[in-house]
Amino acid sequence: MISPNPESLKYTKMSAVDRSWLRMECTENPMMISAVLIFEQPIAMSRLRQVLGERFLRFRRFRQRIYQKGDKVHWQDDPLFDLDNHVHRVALPGKANKQSLQRLTSDLNSTPLDFNHPLWQIHYIDNYEGGCALLVRIHHCIADGISLVRVMLSLTDSSPEASDARVFRLPSLTPPVINKSSSLQRAVSQVSDLSRTALGQLALLGQSIRKDARYPIKLADTAGKIAMECFKLLFLPSEPQTGLTLPLSGRKRVAWADPLSLAEVKVCARALKGTVNDVLMACATGALHKHFKETGETIPESGLRVAVPFNLRSLRQPIETLGNQFGLVLLTLPVDVDCPLMRFRQVQEHMNRLKRSYQAQVTYSLLDLFGRGPDILERRALKLLSQKASAVLTNVPGPKKPVYLAGARLKQPMFWVPQTGSIGIGMSIFSYAGTVQFGMTIDKNIKANPDELMVYFRESFHDLQDRALQHQQQNRQQAKENTGQASIL
């Protein structure tokens, strides 16, 4: 999969967590984060290439390919880097419509990236609905969703006029001078770094104890909770066998819904005293509930679990810091519940419980551990964990106001994260400029129609919205009656 490279080129070691995501690559599930960006106006290819050169390629990772020697994996500057290997212009046949773009996206998302080059590609789609579209694919080992959203936003402006005209130039790829004693120096340096880290941790522990005598007890309590989360993950039962957990073919089907109004979602959330995330997770639950009802398949009484990425990255962290810094939490969706309000309450309760847990930190640590160990260990652990979820569901906030790329206004953005192991469904929620976007990617063998699920998602929102407003009205009426009774007394 990974071609040999001359060792004279500059390279940096891949982190254990990023290596873990690299090794998850398989025929059934290529580890790509993909996005479809639909613009109101066409973009001149010359200007698009200029923006990519000035802003995208300043991130060195997008000019590096993977170099593997034995068990060690590195990022290595690509001496033959050429933008033409990564930017392609295509046209859809006839009058391009949403279905045509979804089919193209499905085909490309079923195709792995070329490991002989840096792991990303952009397809420019001509003349889509009077404007154009970009289909972006980036390997997950480069960065997580939060990082890549920030990278993509760094390419945009708040108005059609570009605000940054700096010209990017590729750095020299001159081979570094090799010192014969470099191996020994690196070994001494690593031991020294470990010693300094250990001493620093001991000093920090001492300071914490001096400030709070109960710190060791709190530390032990936290360690106990973390150990309990590991125990829960290990002995969590596998997902029930349904039409959503069949063996995978590796062929993807992609769909996205018409945007929802974020203002309406917020009104619904306030009426239910919950969050926007609670509402959207409940709508995804409702879509799966409707799917089971429409197909006549027995609904699992225990609900379905989805793996939800949980960001562990500081939002103040510099954008140049790529990589993966998130954990996964397993959220139970009550797809067996008929009442929209009851589904919402259960989703809200499950989310609040997970926010108080250490599950995200535990799964991140496990990914770090797997990335340091042998490949066979990771694959066995991945198989075990992927049996505990039926889908991946991610929710990423985007810009609150419209943005422009190379002078063209971004009308609708959509993205998908990869699924791991035997998981064949990915659901993505993305907020942008007062709207909420919902999309799905489903393996062709899974017995579910993504276009129908898009309809069910919108229907589930409107069902919950109606119930929420009725509930709010009833509460107000009850409050008035209670106030009237109190004044009489």
How confident is the model over 97-108, as pLDDT tens digits? 899 999 999 999
Under-50 pLDDT residues of the chain: 1-6, 164-195, 197-199, 201-202, 204-205, 208-209, 215, 218-219, 221-222, 226, 231
Grouping H, G, I as helix, E, B as strand and the rest as coil, residue 169 is coil
Contact 422, 390 (CB under 8 A): no
Residue 475's pLDDT is 76
| CATH, range 11-154 | 3.30.559.10
Contact 385, 421 (CB under 8 A): yes
pLDDT tens string 413-467: 998 888 888 889 999 999 999 999 999 999 999 989 999 999 999 999 999 999 9
Secondary structure (DSSP) of 375-394: HHHHHHHHHHHHTT-SEEEE
Q: Quote the radius of gyration of the chain (alpha carbons, Å).
A: 25
- pTM of the predicted protein model: 0.79
Best CATH choice for the domain 240-400+418-481 from the list 3.30.565.10, 3.50.50.60, 3.20.20.70, 3.30.559.30 = 3.30.559.30
Residue 125's pLDDT is 94
Stated length of the chain: 489
Residue 144's pLDDT is 81
Separation CA 102–CA 312 (nearest Å): 32
